[in-house]
Structure 1
Amino acid sequence: MQLHTTTWGEGDRVALLIHGIMADHRTWRRVGPALAGRGYRVLAVDLRGHGASGRAGSYTPEDYADDLVETLPADAELAIGHSLGGLALGLAVRRLAPRRAVYSDPAWHLPAGDDGYRPEMFTQAKSLKREQIQTMNPRWEAVDVGIELETLRLWDEATAYDLVDIAGRDLLPVKPLVPSLVPIADPSFLVNKERAALLTERGFEVRTVAGAGHTIHRDDFDGFMAALDGWI
């Protein structure tokens, strides 16, 4: 599927931004312009079932990865994927072949079992009110709360159900195919201490953004950009 794409900047270097579940390119509203200010031409997609991109009958991680390869240029200077976007980027990275990859709190392991992943954890968000989103994300700016309301309205909740099949599976990459950074939340419910140590052993650089929630770039924009030091 050809994905809806938003561009910031006109630099010679290309950066790719891939959002997480329930979001769209607007989650990068500060990151995109910041990278453009550093000389990048920044391309941010809306994944299938999100934002202005098409809806589909299938929402597997492989579907997302194939869409990225169909839509985005290969050999970008930088590719950043958050959560589900990090999982999709990991599956597409061999074909996209960016010079550097950043996996922000990636969804490489969804817990299973009674206390594990349930689609309702996400689909219930459809009914959230502005005040509830602000309470759940006290460090977000008001504009991000408004964006969240709009992206939830556009989001196809069927995407949450196709993730059930990967719950409990270990999808951590065996090794980085390109130089790779993994910024994680503090604490991270997707990359715990044991998985962070394993990623480090496998050749990834892991950096914790102290006090940040899962959507690091919204929760602590300055901390997120600082975590990218030396990678952008």
Structure 2
Amino acid sequence: MQLHTRTWGEGDRLALLIHGIMSDHRTWRRVGPALAERGYRVMAVDLRGHGASGRGEYSPALFADDVVETLPTGAELAIGHSLGGLTLSLAVDRLRPQRAVYSDPAWGLASAVRGVSPDFLRQFKHAGREQVRALNPRWADEDVDIELETLAVWDEATVPGLAPLVDAELLPDAPAVPSLVQLADPSLFLSAEQVAELEKRGFETRTVAGAGHTVHRDDFAGFMASLEGWV
């Protein structure tokens, strides 16, 4: 499936951005322009079932196939957040960016969704401003507005497509390209033991102190600082 994309900048270097579940390209409203100021042409997708992209069947494999079909290969940088991090890890050997950043990637679904029913996640589509604000007290008002807008157009049928992965081993065996794993504090998806294992497998890891799961919205300055040497 060809995905809807948003582009910032006209630089000689290319950066790719892949959002998490319930979101779309608008989650990168500050990251896209910031990378463009550093000389990148930045392309962000709406995954299937999100934003202005098409609907259909849903699975991480399909998300990854869509990204490969839509985005250029050989970009200087690719960043994936949460489900976007999982998607990037399944597509990275085909996209072949020079560097990959996985921002609190969804590689440990079991710990993240334990005790949370799929119905709750689907019903979050109808969350109100107070609920979004309570879960994300550090977000700017504009990010709360965008979250409500993206929830309104998100297809909640994406949730059951992730169910088979809840108890799966999702940690990549090794980085296909030089890779940074950027962690919230604490990470929603990765335990300290899993982080240590990733380091053994050749991933660099950095934690953004005090940041919530959506690091780039919770602490934009910390997000950008943790990318030094990678962007």
Is TM more than 0.5 here?
yes
Offset, 1:189: 2.3
Of Structure 1 and Structure 2, the greater helix share is in: 2
Aligned to 2:156: 157
Change (3 A) 1:182 1:133: same
**1:91 equivalenced with 2:55 (yes/no):** no
Aligned to 1:51: 51
Offset, 1:146: 0.3
Matches of 1:114 and 1:41, distance apart in 2: 35
- State the TM-score, normalized to the length of structure 2: 0.97
Matches of 2:201 and 2:116, distance apart in 1: 26
Offset, 1:128: 1.1
Offset, 1:120: 2.4
Aligned to 1:146: 145
Aligned to 1:118: 117
Aligned partner letter, 1:213:
G
Change (3 A) 1:114 1:9: closer
Consecutive unaligned residues of structure 2, counting only runs of 5 or more, are none
Offset, 1:119: 1.8
Offset, 1:132: 1.6
**1:10 equivalenced with 2:10 (yes/no):** yes
Count of residue pairs the alignment pairs up: 231
Offset, 1:117: 5.4
Aligned partner letter, 2:90:
L
Offset, 1:123: 1.2
Deviations 1:107-161 (A, max 9, x none): 0121179935532242121221112211111100000000000000000000011
Deviations 1:149-206 (A, max 9, x none): 0000000000011100110111100000100000011011201101100000000001
The answer to whether the Cα contact below 8 Å between 1:111 and 1:117 also exists between their aligned partners in 2 is no
The answer to whether the Cα contact below 8 Å between 1:18 and 1:85 also exists between their aligned partners in 2 is yes
Bigger shift: 66-75 or 124-133? 124-133
Classify the secondary structure of the residue corresponding to 1:89: helix
**1:220 equivalenced with 2:219 (yes/no):** yes
**1:36 equivalenced with 2:36 (yes/no):** yes
Name the % identity. 67
The 4+ residue runs of structure 1 with deviation greater than 2 A are 112-118
The answer to whether the Cα contact below 8 Å between 2:111 and 2:189 also exists between their aligned partners in 1 is no
Q: How does 1:122-137 map to 2 (within 5 A)?
A: 122-137=121-136
Change (3 A) 1:200 1:117: farther
The answer to whether the Cα contact below 8 Å between 1:110 and 1:117 also exists between their aligned partners in 2 is no
Aligned to 1:205: 204
Aligned to 1:19: 19
Pairwise CA RMSD: 1.3
- State the TM-score, normalized to the length of structure 1: 0.97
